[in-house]
Structure 1
Amino acid sequence: MNYTLHQLQIFLKVAQNQSITKASEELYLTQPAVSIQLKNFQDQFSIPLTEVVGRKLYITEFGQEIALAAEKVLNEVHSLDHKTLAYKGQLVGRLKISVVSTAKYVIPYFLSNFMSKHPGVDLVMDVTNKAKVIESLEQNDVDFAMVSVLPKKMKIERIELMQNKLFFVGSAAANIDSKQGRKRLFEQLPLIFREQGSATRNAMESFIFKSGLSIQKKIELTSNEAVKQAVIAGLGYSIMPLIGIKNALKNKDVQIIPVKGLPISTTWNLIWLRSKKLSPAAMAFKEYINTEKDSIIKETFDWFEAY
Structure 2
Amino acid sequence: MINYTLKQLYSFEAVVRLKSFTKASKELYITQPAVYMQIQQLTKNIGSDLVNIKGKKVSPTHIGKKFYQTCLRVISTLEQSKADIEQSLNPNSGHLEISVATTTNSFVSRALAQFKNQYPNMTFHLEVTNRKLLLEKLANHNSDLVIMGEPPTDMLLSAHPFMENPLIVISHPDHPLLKNKRNTIKAISRETLITREQGSGTRITIERDAGMKFNSEIEINSNEAIIEAVQAGLGIGFVSKHTVQLELENNIIKQLNVDKFPITRHWYVVHSAKTTLSPIAQRFKDFIIESATN
Normalization by structure 1: what TM-score?
0.63
Q: Secondary structure at the match of 2:165?
A: strand
Question: Counterpart of 1:189?
Answer: 191
Residue 218 of structure 2 aligns to which amino acid in structure 1?
Answer: I
**1:290-301 superposed matches below 5 A:** 290-295=289-294
Q: How many residues align?
A: 213
Aligned pairs for 1:239-258 within 5 A: 239-258=238-257
AA in 1 matched with 2:241: L
Look up the equivalent residue of 2:108 and give its one-letter code.
I
Distance 1:86-1:218 versus aligned 2 partners, 3 A rule? closer
Q: Residues of 1 paired with 2:288 and 2:214: CA distance? A: 41
In 1, distance between residues paired with 2:289 and 2:188? 41
The C-alpha deviation readout for 1:205-245, integer Å capped at 9, x for no partner, is 2245x2xx555434111111000000011110022110111
Matched, 1:277 2:276: yes
C-alpha distance in structure 2 between counterparts of 1:169 and 1:88, whole Å: 50
- In the alignment, which of 178, 181, 192 is matched to residue 180 of structure 2? 178
Amino acid at match of 1:198: S
> Are 2:143 and 1:148 equivalent residues in the alignment?
no
Q: Indicate how the Cα distance of structure 1 residues 166 and 287 shifts in structure 2: closer, same or farther if over 3 A, else same.
A: closer
Query: Does structure 1 residue 228 correspond to structure 2 residue 227?
Result: yes
TM-score w.r.t. length of structure 2: 0.65
- Please report how far the alpha carbon of residue 130 of structure 1 lies from its aligned counterpart in structure 2 after TM superposition: 1.2
Q: CA deviation at 1:286?
A: 2.7
Q: Whole-Å Cα distance in 1 between the matches of residues 149 and 87 of structure 2?
A: 35
The answer on 1:110 being equivalent to 2:111 is yes
Verify the 8 A CA contact 2:101 2:131 in the aligned structure 1: yes
Partner of 1:93: 94
Deviations 1:251-270 (Å, cap 9, x if unpaired)?
A: 10111111111110011111
1:290/1:266 Cα in 2 relative to 1: closer, same or farther (>3 Å)? closer
Q: How does 1:27-42 map to 2 (within 5 A)?
A: none
Contact 2:97 2:145 in 1 (8 A): yes
Say if 1:115 and 1:226 are closer, same or farther in 2 by CA, change over 3 A. same
Asked whether the 8 Å contact 1:90–1:120 carries over to 2, the reply is: no
Query: 2:247, 2:91 → 1: CA distance?
Result: 41
- State whether structure 2 residue 207 is matched by structure 1 residue 199: no
Q: What residue is the counterpart of 1:24 in the other structure?
A: none
1:131 aligned counterpart, secondary structure: helix
What is the DSSP-based 3-state SS (H/G/I as helix, E as strand, rest coil) of the residue aligned with 2:218? strand
Cα contact 2:182–2:258 (8 A) shared by 1: no
Check conservation: 1:129, 1:197, Cα contact below 8 A. Answer: no
Q: RMSD of the alignment, in Å?
A: 2.5
Task: Say whether residues 1:120 and 2:121 are aligned partners.
Answer: yes
Question: Contact 1:90–1:118 (CA<8 Å) still a contact in 2?
Answer: no
Letter in 1 for 2:249: K
Greater displacement, 174-183 / 97-106: 174-183
Q: Deviations over 1:46-90 (max 9, x none)?
A: xxxxxxxxxxxxxxxxxx8xx659xxxxxxxxxxxx9xx979845
Q: Could you tell me how far apart the structure 1 residues matched to 2:167 and 2:247 are? A: 15
Paired residue for 2:165? 164
Distance 1:108 1:214 in 2: 33
> Where do 5+ consecutive residues of structure 1 fail to align?
1-63, 70-81, 296-307
Other structure's SS at 2:174 match: coil
Aligned-pair distance for 1:183? 4.3
C-alpha offsets along residues 243-293 of structure 1, whole Å, 9 cap, x if unaligned?
Answer: 111111011011111111111001111111111122222122234345444
Counterpart of 2:208 in 1: which secondary structure?
helix
SS at match of 1:106: helix
Q: Is the 8 A contact 2:185 2:258 kept in 1?
A: no
State the one-letter code of the partner of 1:169. Answer: I
